[in-house]
């Protein structure tokens, strides 16, 4: 499991957790903005980025939580500011749920951390038996589409190549495919119980008055304003900054704004 570790040892830790189909590269501008004052830990989930991509690993939410928890314990991190995006929400909050008092401050980028049946048709298509694997692993229809559909401003050639680089082959795309299959849409799904527990932990954050910042891409067609409103309901004390012109990868569309909002919040 690969991870970025930037900033002074002994400084407050900011743990940044990515989703699917991105990797630690997503957080590069935020790391550059914070690393003078904070220790920035940015892992690549197993199967993502430059981490190993074992073909016989059971890629599901609980396993990703265990992996991230093992990294946190390995580094001796007992408290951190937690920043999460996409699948990073349930994974990061799943780690925190098992470690009461772990979160100093919470930063939510377009993500979800509660059960929902809201799923775009284009993602539902990628979950279909056989066809889903063909689209996601065979034709690179998930990562390949994300580099244009996840942003409102066109990526540079370099950034586009960087996002596609970890997913060059059928084998490389195994975690991308399994993340899509792991989206829980009902009580019969194996990830549903974990998601329910993570949602319940938000109540604990609310009770503790954990300082929370929500920075949200307003043009995200996946984690849209339905998710934003649910977070506002569950965490009514959160500061909210909605970036009307930003898409799902808001750290690409509005990197300076995101860095400014987060830096101000953490200080």
Provide the pLDDT for residue 6.
Answer: 98
CATH homologous superfamily, domain 3-116+192-266: Alpha/Beta hydrolase fold, catalytic domain (3.40.50.1820)
In terms of C-beta distances under 8 Å and separation of at least 24 residues, what long-range contacts does 163-171 make, across chains too? 163/21, 163/22, 163/23, 163/25, 164/140, 166/23, 166/44, 166/48, 166/49, 166/50, 167/21, 167/140, 167/143, 170/137, 170/138, 171/53, 171/55
d(CA 93, CA 108): 10
d(CA 258, CA 267): 14
pLDDT tens digits, one per residue of 132-181: 999 999 999 999 999 999 999 999 999 999 999 999 999 999 999 999 99
Cβ burial, residue 11 (10 Å; 0-12/13-18/19+): middle
- Residue showing tokens 């940015």: 42
pLDDT tens digits, one per residue of 179-237: 999 999 888 899 999 999 999 999 999 999 999 999 999 999 999 999 999 999 999 99
**Rounded to the nearest 5°, which phi and psi values hold at 45?**
-55, 155
Whole-number Cα distances in Å, 245 to 11, 151, 258: 34, 10, 13
Sign for the pseudo-dihedral over CA of 226, 223, 252, 237: positive
Among 264, 56, 60, CA closest to 181? 60
d(CA 133, CA 124): 12
- Is 90 exceeded by the pLDDT of residue 103? yes
- pTM, 2 dp: 0.97
Three-class secondary structure of residue 150 per DSSP:
coil
Provide the pLDDT for residue 248.
Answer: 98
Three-class secondary structure of residue 236 per DSSP:
coil
Tokens of 139: 């034709």
Domain boundaries, the chain: 3-116+192-266
């Amino acid at each position: 499991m690969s991870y970025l570790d930037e900033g002074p040892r002994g400084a407050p830790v900011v743990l940044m957790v990515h989703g699917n189909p991105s990797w630690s590269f997503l957080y590069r501008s935020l790391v550059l903005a914070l690393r003078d004052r904070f220790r920035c830990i940015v892992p690549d989930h197993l199967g993502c980025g430059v981490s190993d991509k074992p073909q016989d690993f059971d890629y599901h939410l609980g396993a990703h939580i265990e992996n991230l928890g093992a990294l946190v314990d390995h580094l001796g991190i007992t408290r951190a500011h937690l920043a999460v995006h996409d699948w990073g929400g349930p994974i990061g909050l799943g780690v925190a749920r098992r470690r009461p008092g772990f979160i100093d401050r919470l930063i939510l980028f377009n993500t979800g951390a509660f059960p929902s049946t809201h799923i775009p048709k284009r993602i539902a298509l990628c979950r279909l038996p056989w066809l889903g694997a063909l689209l996601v692993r065979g034709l690179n229809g998930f990562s390949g589409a994300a580099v244009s559909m996840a942003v409102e401003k066109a990526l540079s050639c370099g950034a586009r190549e960087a996002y596609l680089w970890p997913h060059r082959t059928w084998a490389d795309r195994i975690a991308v495919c399994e993340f899509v299959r792991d989206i829980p849409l009902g009580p019969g799904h194996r990830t549903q119980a974990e998601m329910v527990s993570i949602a319940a932990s938000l109540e604990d954050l609310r009770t503790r008055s954990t300082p929370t910042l929500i920075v949200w891409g307003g043009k995200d067609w996946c984690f849209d304003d339905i998710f934003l409103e649910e977070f506002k309901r569950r965490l009514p004390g959160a500061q909210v900054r909605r970036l009307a012109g930003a898409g799902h990868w808001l750290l690409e569309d509005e990197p300076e704004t995101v860095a400014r909002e987060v830096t101000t919040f953490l200080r």
